[in-house]
Amino acid sequence: MSNGFKDQVALITGAASGIGRATALHLAKEEVKIVVSDLNEQGGLETVQMVKEAGSDAVFIAADVADEKSVQQLFSGALHHFGKIDIGINNAGIGGAWAPTAQYNKAEFDKVIAINQTGVFLCMQAEINQMLKQGRGAIVNVSSIAGLRGLPNSVAYTASKHAVIGMTKTSALEYAKSNIRINAVCPVFTRTPMVESMFQIDPAYEEKLVKNIPMRRYGNTDDIAQAIVWLCSPLNSFFTGQALALDGGMTA
């Protein structure tokens, strides 16, 4: 059974690895054309090649999501190449420093907010403006389980991911009548390069945290990517404004 994706175009930020790459590959199997964006050119070009090997088309456009001009150039390039944007997946993000609030560095805080929060805002704004012209669209913002609860020693990351959910819900209400669906996913720690680097710093935390997940395992990138694909599906036309926890039962 077709999911109705054929000939659609998806723009994915943070697509050089991890959740972004996995989502690109799952959408490619549905014959979705992919705009791969990241600051990591080598990884981005590798994703493009993998998408093509999966049977779809893709282009890589480097962009810094925290920079308004860079985002404008990203969308200009995407539209020049494919002519439209049906799906926006705002996935680019960083973890930031690991420190208690009283000792958290202001410059580090600003950096995390710029990428994780302002970056989502800028990309979502550009996506919505294009989708209004097209008369429809689907957007998925990648938040985190830290957007639904507190995460000690990670004040900037937690604040940014709460903000992503707030922006998602507000924008979903604003554009529901315009046939633009906007949702968020909230993964628990997922086996991505960013999370693996954090676990290397504190291996004991990896073992401690998994005990709080009822399924007793971390998510993998395919777990998250398949949920994102479901949220984007044209057959899923009545689902909007939600923050979907992908956490192995942690928030049940």
| Distance between CA atoms of residues 212 and 217, nearest Å | 9
157 is catalytic: yes
CB distance 100 to 149 below 8 Å: no
SS3 50: helix
Strands (E), 8-55: 9-13, 33-38
Buried/exposed 99-113: b ≥16 CB within 10 Å, e otherwise? eeeeebeeeebebbb
* Distance, C-alpha 242 to centroid of its chain: 14
CB distance 175 to 135 below 8 Å: no
Instruction: Find the catalytic residue in 104, 157, 175, 218.
Output: 157
Please, is 190 exposed, middle or buried when counting C-beta atoms within 10 Å of its C-beta (0-12, 13-18, 19+)? Answer: buried
CB distance 134 to 151 below 8 Å: no
Q: Which residues are catalytic, by number?
A: 157
